[in-house]
Amino acid sequence: RAYDIAASRQILIPDVEHPGLLVMVHELPAGKGTQITEIKSL
């Protein structure tokens, strides 16, 4: 809860070369920074 990720705003889902890779970029609330999630499917 320190970063309040649930209240973040998604700002980017970039195109990636690998078909099993998902990258999401979120802006955290109250100027707490940026959060990046990378998920790779096998």
Question: How confident is the model over 1-42, as pLDDT tens digits?
Answer: 789 999 999 999 999 999 999 999 999 999 999 999 999 998
- What local confidence, expressed as pLDDT, does residue 37 receive? 97
Q: Three-state DSSP class for 4? A: coil
Listed by start position, the domains of the chain span: 5-40
User: With contact defined as beta carbons under 8 Å apart, do 23 and 41 qualify?
Assistant: no
- What local confidence, expressed as pLDDT, does residue 12 receive? 98
- What local confidence, expressed as pLDDT, does residue 42 receive? 84
Question: How far apart (Å, rounded) are the C-alpha atoms in residues 22 and 14?
Answer: 8
- What local confidence, expressed as pLDDT, does residue 1 receive? 79
- Burial environment of residue 15 by CB neighbours within 10 A (0 to 12, 13 to 18, 19 or more): exposed
- What local confidence, expressed as pLDDT, does residue 40 receive? 97
- What local confidence, expressed as pLDDT, does residue 34 receive? 98
